[in-house]
Amino acid sequence: MFKLPPISLYIHIPWCLKKCGYCDFYSYVSKSAIPEKKYIEHLLKDLEKDLSLINERKINTIFIGGGTPSLLKNSSIENLLKEIKKRTNISNKTEITIESNPTTLEYKRFLNYKKSGINRFSIGIQTFNSDLLKKIERTYNKEEAILAIEEISKINKNFNLDIMYGLPNQSLNDVLLDLKYAVKHNPTHISWYQLTIEPNTLFYVKKLNLPNENMIFKMLIQGDKFLKKSGYKKYEISSYSKINYECQHNLNYWNFGDYIGIGCSAHGKITQKNGDIIRTVKNKNLNDFINGKYLKYKNIILKKERPFEYFMNTFRLYKPVLKKQFQERTNIDPIYIKEKIKKAIEKGYIKDKIDFWNTTNKGKIFLNSLLKIFLD
C-alpha cells in the first residue's frame, strides 16, 4: 500500500574559502563579503514555495551543507533556523546538522551554532597527515584538525568526522593512523570513504599518484576491520556509528524518503498524495537565485525510473530491503520488477525472502553492476 514517506530539509550554502581539487559540489570561492542576509532572505522564500508541495508534513531532519556553511556568521545561522521554525512543523528533537571545516574561523563559532539549535556537527577532516592535506589542497594542518575536534567534543557529544582513503601517495599505514586518530577522539559517527576523481573537478586533469586497486582493497578491508573492532557499526557503505547515532538525515535519503532542497543547485524529492514523485533542482547561478529565480526545473520521476532510484539508495544500507517499503515509497507492486529481481538473484547479488530482499557480499562489492540491472 502506498503512503507518503518522512520528509527532510536540505539547505545549500555555496561559499568556500578555496575550491578543493576533488570537489564536485556546487560552490563559489569567497573573495569578498558574503551576501548572507540577502541569501538567507531568498532561502526562506525558496522554502515557502516548496512547502506547498509537502502536504503539511513534519520536517524530521535538517542538514545545512555546502560549500562551507560554517563560514556564515552566528547571527545568520540563528536567524535562518528561527525563521524556518516559524514556517515549518519541527520539534526540539529534530536532528539539525551543519557541515564545517577545521579552521580557526569556523570552530570558534561552534558554541553559538549549538545555541541556535544545531545538535549535530559534521567536520571535514579528510586526513590528519599534514603533507597529504597539502596534496589534496586543504587549507589547514593536522594540529588545526585536532584542535577543532577537541573544541567540538567539549560542546556537543554528537559529531561526525569525514575521513578519506585512497589519497595521492597514501600508504596503508597512513590510512590506519588516520582512523586511530579519529577513534581516539570518540566521535559518535565516522564517514569513511574513498577519494574518487570526478570528471568536472580540477584533479581530473591533474596527474595524481593514487594507490592501485590492490592497495585500495587492503585499505578498505583493514580499515573496516579496525573501525568495527573500535566499537563502530557499519550501517551503510561508507558510514559507521556508535549505537543509536546513525545520521537520521542520510538514513532518510537511503530509505527513499522525501526531502526539500533549498539554495543554489539544491535537489529535492517530494512525493504527492496521488503517488507522483516530483524531482526539483534549484538554480545554480547565485545572481539569478538572489533575484528570485529559484527553480531550475521540476519533473515527475517516471514509473520505469523509480525501481533504480529506490535501490540506488536502499542497497547501500546493511539491512534487509523490505518489499512492503518498496511498494509504499515507489507506489509500484514488486511484481513489476520480478524479472529484474530474478536476474539479480542469478548473478548472486541478492537473496529473495518472503518479506524482503538482502544484498549479498558480492552484491555490495559489485553494487554498480547490481544497480545496472534496474536501469530501464
Span 35-48, pLDDT tens digits: 899 999 999 999 99
Per-residue pLDDT band at 19 (split at 50, 70, 90)? low
Structure confidence at residue 196 (pLDDT): 81
Cα distance between residue 57 and residue 5, in whole Å: 9
CB 109 within 8 A of CB 151: no
Residue range 255-282: mean pLDDT, rounded: 96
Q: Which residue has the cell 518489499?
A: 323
* Chain segment 291-320, per-residue pLDDT in tens: 999 999 999 999 999 999 999 999 999 999
| For residue 8, pLDDT beyond 80 | yes
Closest CA to 79 of 122, 41, 42, 46: 41
pLDDT value at residue 104: 64
What integer is the mean pLDDT of 323-350? 96
Domains of the chain, earliest start first = 7-252 (3.20.20.70), 316-376 (no CATH)
Q: How confident is the model at residue 21 (pLDDT cuts 50, 70, 90)?
A: low
Express as a percent the part of the chain with pLDDT over 90.
Answer: 79
Query: What percent helix, strand, coil does the chain show, rounded to 5?
Result: 40, 20, 35
User: In angstroms, rounded to a whole number, what is the distance separating the alpha carbons of residues 55 and 4?
Assistant: 9
Phi, psi of 316 (to 5 degrees): -75, -25
**pLDDT of 105 higher than 60:** yes
Question: Global pTM?
Answer: 0.93
- pLDDT > 70: what percent of the chain? 91
Give me the pLDDT at residue 34, please: 80
The whole-angstrom distance between residue 47's C-alpha and the CA centroid of its chain comes to: 20
pLDDT at 22: 54
pLDDT of residue 370: 97
Average pLDDT, the chain: 92
What's the confidence (pLDDT) of residue 103?
81
Backbone φ, ψ for residue 350 (5° rounding): -140, 165
Does residue 302 contact residue 278 with C-beta atoms inside 8 Å? no
Helix and strand totals (H; E) in the chain: 15, 17
Query: In the prediction, which pLDDT does 53 show?
Result: 93
Does the pLDDT at position 258 exceed 90?
Answer: yes
- The closest alpha carbon to 72, from 121, 46, 25, 39, belongs to 39
Angle at 66 between CA 63 and CA 69, to 5 degrees: 75
Whether 181 contacts 152, CB under 8 Å = no
- Residue pair 270/8 in contact (Cβ under 8 Å)? The answer is no
Residues 215, 196, 105, CA angle at the centre, nearest 5°? 110
136 vs 24 pLDDT, higher one:
136
pLDDT at 209: 80
Quick one: average pLDDT of 186-195? 96
Q: What is the mean pLDDT of residues 2-23?
A: 81
* Tens-place pLDDT, residues 107-143: 778 899 999 999 999 999 999 999 999 988 888 899 9
Give whichever of 55-69, 93-107, 306-320 has the largest mean pLDDT: 306-320
pLDDT at residue 31 is higher than 60: no
Whole-number Å distance between alpha carbons of 217 and 315 = 20
Is the pLDDT confidence value at 199 over 70? no
Evaluated on CA atoms 169, 173, 176, 180, the torsion sign reads negative
**Which pLDDT score is estimated for 322?**
97
pLDDT digits (tens, 9 = 90+) for 142-189: 999 999 999 999 999 999 999 999 999 999 999 999 999 999 999 999
**What digits encode the pLDDT tens for the residues 247-256?**
999 999 999 9
Q: Residue 239 pLDDT > 60, yes or no?
A: yes
The whole-angstrom separation of Cα 315 and Cα 360 is 10
Q: Please tell me the predicted confidence (pLDDT) of residue 359.
A: 96
For the residues 326-337, what does the mean pLDDT come to? 96
pLDDT band for position 20 (50/70/90)?
Answer: low
Query: 32-36, 83-87, 231-235: lowest mean pLDDT where?
Result: 32-36
